Structure 1
C-alpha cells in the first residue's frame, strides 16, 4: 500500500509503491543510467476525446478511502495522502497541471494564465476562468484562493495542514477582481508554480479552521471536477461518482465511476481477473501474474516518483541513539531489498540513495551510498561506540542487561510491505540485530506512525516535480508524536541547521546554486538518519484493453473528461 501526500508536501504511500510542476528555475530532468529513468513517462495510450465512447461505468478499487483517513477536505492534513487523492481525483482540479515530460502549464478549465510578472519583488499574476464553479453553482473566485492561501500560510496554528512550504513566504495576496489576483512573496520562492497545484475549496470552508478541520470528516466538499460523489454503500465499501452537472468543461465520457475499498492487494488483482474491476494497480509479482492472465488485459509500465524507505523513530529506544540509527542504516542491504522489490516485476532493480531527488532527476546522487554505505563491520563498531556488547556465541548485542531488539510495523494485507520488512529483518540479522515484524490493521497503520507507536516502518514517499521545497516537511521541523496531525516528519528528529539551508534553497532562483544547497541538505539529513531510502517503485497498471486514457504516468496529470472506453 502507498500513502501519498499532496503537492504541498510529500505523499506517503504504503503498499507498492513531493514535484509539482517544473517552473522556470526548476532544473529539467537529465538522462540517467538508472533503470527507472529509462522507463516510459506514460504507460497508457493517449486516445483522442472524440474517439472515446460516451457512456459506461468504470469500476476501480483503492486500499482505503476518505472516510478511513477521517477527512474529505483535500487541504486538511489527513487527506494529504496519495491513495485518497487518487480516490477523489475525478472530483478535483487545480490552476496548474503537468504534461508528460513534467513541464507545468495552466489548466484552462481553472486558469487562463499564471505568470511571473516581477522578480524583485517576486509577483505572480493569476487570471481565473470565469466559468469555473463549485458543485452547486457557486463561482470559484479569487476570494476562495485568498482564503486557502491564508489557511496554508501556517500563521494560524488552528489549521491542520500538511505543510506551509511556499505559502509561508507569501507577503501579500491582492484580489484584483473575482477572476484575478496577485501573489507577492517576501523573498524569492523558486518553486512558486507548486502553490497552484492545490485544489481550491470554498472560502466558507478555508476561512474557518473548525470547518476546515472537522466539517468534512464524513462528507465531500463541493466537487470542482467533471464528476461528483453520489452514494456510498458502507457495507460493501463502494463509493459511486457520477457526472457533475455544474462542470463547465468538456462533457465527461463515463456515466458512472465506482470505487471499491479493497484492502488486500491480491484481492484487488483477483477482482480485476474476474471482471469485477476494469483496472488495477500492480505492486507485487503475484498481482502481475493474476492480472496478466485475464483475457484482453493490457499491462502498462512507466517510471514513477514513489520510493520505498525505512523510517526510524528517533523517540523510541534504542533508536533515540544516533549511533544506533547509523548502525541500522549501515546494516540495511539496499541492493538486496531492491532486487526483491523488483523480482517478478519485469524491470531491472535500482536503488535510491537521495533524500530529495529521484533517480533520473537533475541533482540526484547516491548520498546514502556515500555517507551510510552498507558496512556490517562499520555498523558493529558504531554499536560498540553506543555501549552495546556483542555476544558472538549467543549471536546478540546486549547493554545494561538488555538485548538489542527492534521491530518493523507493517499493515495487514500488504504483501509488499511485509516482504520489505522481512528483507530488513534479514539484513540486520547478518549483524546479529534481532528484528520482529508487528502487523497492525491497515486502517491503524498511519495513525500509529503519526503517533510514534513504532520503531521502524517501511512505506513509500511520492516525490514531486518540485522536490527541494516539497521534501522539507519530511525532515524539518522535527515533528511531535503528541501532535499527530502536524507535519510529516515521522522520525521525530531533525538538525536545526536545515531551517536556514531550506530557506536559502527555496529562495535561490539560480538552478546551479540551488542544487549545491540541496546537496548540503542531503548530507545533513544523512548525518542524523531519520530514514533510509531504499529503491524507487516501478509503476504498473493492468487495464481492460478497451479502457482509454487511464493508468500510470510519471508526471502527466489525468484528464478525467477523456477517461472511458473505446468499444
Structure 2
C-alpha cells in the first residue's frame, strides 16, 4: 500500500527552492506547532479517474540521481513517484514501511550504546533482513533483489572515488549485502550498530543504475534504466529541457493501488509567474514565494481568486540564526551565550508569520521540527536573558572577555541574503534586541552565491540567517552541522557543514552514541541530551519553521502543503 494521504508528504523544498538559502544536507510535534499538512483530502470514490496534473517546480532537474550534489527539488519528486521507497516518512517524519515493497524488515544484534566496545560489536553484529514483496518488480520485469541493494551500497559506501556522491548517508556502516536467507529476502550486515538503518535504500535504484561510475554519474542525468512505482518516465524524452518539463505517466505494470492520474507533469515556472499560471490553468499546483517583498499582498490576492485554494502549513525546513564561534567577538563562549539569550525567538517567529496569516512557532530543538514525531523543546538549556533584555549579562561577558573582544563594545555584523523579506525581518528584530542588550550591530545583505561562498563558508560574519532542510534521520544527516571542527594536515580547520564553528567532544560522543543506539527509548533520551548540549553551546538558534504556502486549482485533491511527509501519488487527482 502507498499509505493514506494524511500520512504522506512532499517536503516544501520539493516544489521550489526554499525562500531563504537552504544550507546543503522525524502523534509528535509541539503543542503550538503549525499544522503538519494542509491539503484537500478526498476518498478514492470522489476522485476522478484520469487526467493530467501539472505542478510548478523551480526548474528541470540536472540529474535524476538524488545522491548527486546537483540533485534538486524536482529530482526528489521524480524519485518519490517512480522509485521504491522502503521507509518513506509520514506526516510526522516517522520512517514508515511501505508494504508495496516490503513484507517486513527485522533488525537483530548490535551492541547497546552502554556497551559499544569493539569486542561487544564483533560478538553481536547488527543485521537487517528485508523480506521483499514478491510482486515488486522493475519496469523491465526483473524482481527487486539483493543485486539492487548491493549495487547501491557499493556506489554509496565511499570507497570508490569514481562514484560522485553528496555523501555516504550511512552506507559506510554496512559491511556486506547478501541474498537470503529465504526467498525474496536480503540480508544487510553492519560493521557497527546503525540506529538509522531505515534511512538506507530510500529511494532504491536498480542495479543497472549503480553497476559502474559512468552509469551512476552520467547515465542517470536524463534517464532511468528501470522504475518501480505508480508512475514512470513518459518515454525517452520525458525530461524536456526546451519545454521546461518532466512528464510522468501511470505505470500499467504497477502492482499496487492504481494511480488516479494519467500523467503528472513537473513544469519550471518562475516564482513571480506562478499565481498567473494558476489563474490561467497552465499549472494546477504551485508553492508561492512567502519570502519575496509583497508576499502578504500576493497571498491575499491568491486567497481572493475564484477557483484557487490556498494551503498553509509548516514547511520542510527551518530558519536559524548562526553565531560565529570560530572568529570574532562571539568566539568567546560566555559572550556568545549572552547574545543568544538576548534574542527573543518567539517574537521573531511572530513577526515573520503574522503578515502571512500563519501561526507563529519557534522550534525548541536543533534536530527535530515541531511537526516531527519525537519533538521535544530543550531550549531551556540555554537559559533566559532576564528582565533587562540581557544587558547586564552581556556587559559582564564583555568585561570578562577583555582583550579578546577589545575595550569598545563590538559592532556585530548580521549577514543576510539580499532580497529576502524574512531575513530582513529577522535582522531588524535582532538589531532591536541587541541594542536592548547594549550591543551595536549592522546588516550586511549579500546577493547570490556570495552569501555562502564569500561569507558563511569563510567565516566572514558574526551572525548569519539561513535555512536547513528537515530530515527524518537527524543523527546521521545533521552530524556534520554540529561536529567539533578538527585540524587538517595543512593546519586549517575542517569544519564540515558546521558554519558556527563551535562544538565539543561531548557533543561528538553523544552523536556517536545516539547513532549506535538501537533501543528507541534510549535513542530518544540521548537525542534530547544532545540537543540540550547544542543549546548550551549556542552556535545556532532555530527561529521558525519555514512557512509553506501551496496554491492549487480548486478541483485538485489529495495534494497541497505536505510538510515533512511524502505524498501518496496514487491518490493525487481531480475531484469528480
| Bucket of the pairwise TM-score, normalised by the shorter protein | 0.7 to 0.9
Does 2:48 match 1:53?
Answer: yes
Deviation at 1:536, TM superposition (A): 2.4
Per the alignment, residue 167 of structure 1 pairs with 171
Pair 1:75-2:81 in alignment? no
In structure 2, runs of 5+ residues without a counterpart are 1-10, 111-123
Return the alpha-carbon distance in structure 1 between the equivalents of residues 502 and 165 of structure 2: 19
Question: How far 1:448 sits from its partner (Å)?
Answer: 6.2
Aligned partner of residue 61 in structure 1, secondary structure: strand
2:60–2:246 contact (8 Å) kept in structure 1: no
Decide whether aligned partners of structure 1 residues 158 and 406 sit closer, same or farther in structure 2, where only a CA change above 3 A counts. farther
Deviation at 1:371, TM superposition (A): 1.3
Classify the secondary structure of the residue corresponding to 1:96. Answer: coil
Seen in structure 2, the aligned counterparts of structure 1 residues 286 and 208 have a Cα distance that, compared at 3 Å, is farther
CA distance in 2, matches of 1:358, 1:368: 13
Q: Distance in 2 between matches of 1:447 and 1:521?
A: 29
Give runs of aligned pairs for residues 511-530 of structure 1, distance below 5 A. Answer: 511-530=520-539
State the alpha-carbon separation in 2 of the partners of residues 3 and 353 from structure 1: 20
Instruction: Please list the CA deviations of residues 108-134 of structure 1 after superposition, one character each: whole Å capped at 9, or x if unmatched.
Output: 333333233566543321133455455
Aligned twin of 1:66: 61
Residue aligned with 1:434, SS: strand
Secondary structure at the counterpart of residue 344 of structure 1: helix
| Secondary structure of the structure 2 residue equivalent to 1:340 | helix
Q: Superposition RMSD on alpha carbons, in Å?
A: 4.1
Structure-to-structure mapping, 1:159-558, within 5 angstroms: 159-164=163-168, 166-176=170-180, 179-196=184-201, 198-209=202-213, 212=216, 214-215=217-218, 218-222=221-225, 223-225=227-229, 226-228=231-233, 230-231=237-238, 234=241, 238-243=244-249, 247-249=253-255, 250-264=257-271, 266-282=272-288, 283=290, 284-304=295-315, 306-312=317-323, 314=325, 317=328, 322=333, 325-359=336-370, 364-371=375-382, 373-374=384-385, 375-377=389-391, 378-386=393-401, 387-389=404-406, 397-398=409-410, 404-410=411-417, 412=419, 414-430=420-436, 431-441=438-448, 451-452=457-458, 455=461, 456-476=463-483, 478=485, 488-554=497-563, 556-558=565-567
| Pair 208,421 (structure 1): closer, same or farther in 2 beyond 3 Å | farther
Give distance in 1, aligned partners of 2:58 and 2:486: 27
Equivalent position SS for 1:565: strand
Give the TM-score of the pair, scaled to structure 2. 0.77
Q: Which of the numbers 88, 93, 96 marks the counterpart of 1:97?
A: 88
Please state how far the C-alpha of 1:136 moved relative to its aligned partner. Answer: 5.7
Cα offsets for 1:25-57 (capped at 9, x unmatched): xxx627x53243xx3x44224333454323333
Deviation at 1:349, TM superposition (A): 1.5
Cα deviation, residue 488, structure 1: 4.1
Aligned-pair CA distance for 1:546: 0.8
Separation in 2, partners of 1:244, 1:326: 54
The structural deviation recorded for 1:530 is 3.2
Q: Deviations over 1:448-488 (max 9, x none)?
A: 688547635433333344444443232226489999x9964
Aligned-pair distance for 1:144? Answer: 1.8
- Superposed displacement of residue 75, structure 1: 1.8
User: Corresponding residue for 2:105?
Assistant: 114
* Distance in 1 (alpha carbons) for counterparts of 2:215 and 2:322: 32
Report the CA distance between 1:323 and its aligned residue. Answer: 5.3
- Is contact 2:149-2:177 (8 Å) kept? no
Shift of 1:270: 4.2
**Per the alignment, do residues 363 and 98 of structure 1 end up closer, same or farther by CA in structure 2, a change over 3 Å counting?**
closer
CA deviation vs aligned residue, 1:366-388 (integer Å, no higher than 9, x gap): 44443164553223443444443
Q: How do 1:8-87 residues align onto structure 2 when only pairs under 5 Å count?
A: 13-15=18-20, 29=28, 32-36=30-34, 39=35, 41-49=36-44, 51-67=46-62, 71-79=63-71, 84-86=75-77
Cα 1:329–1:206 shift into 2, 3 Å: farther
Deviation string 1:166-194 (CA, Å, 9 cap, x unpaired) is 43333432222894211233444333323
Secondary structure, in 3 states, of the residue corresponding to 2:48? coil
Moved more, 53-62 or 171-180: 171-180
SS where residue 107 of structure 1 aligns? Answer: coil
Give the Å deviation of 1:224.
4.2
**1:254 offset after TM fit, Å?**
3.1
Q: Is the partner of 1:349 in helix, strand or coil?
A: coil
Q: CA 1:34–1:435 in structure 2 vs 1: closer, same or farther (change >3 Å)?
A: same
Report the 3-state secondary structure (helix = DSSP H, G, I; strand = E; otherwise coil) of the residue aligned with 1:66: coil
TM-score (norm 1): 0.78
* Structure-2 change in CA distance of 1:104 and 1:362 (3 Å): closer
SS in 2 for 1:310: strand
Q: 2-side partners of 1:115 and 1:411: how far apart?
A: 49
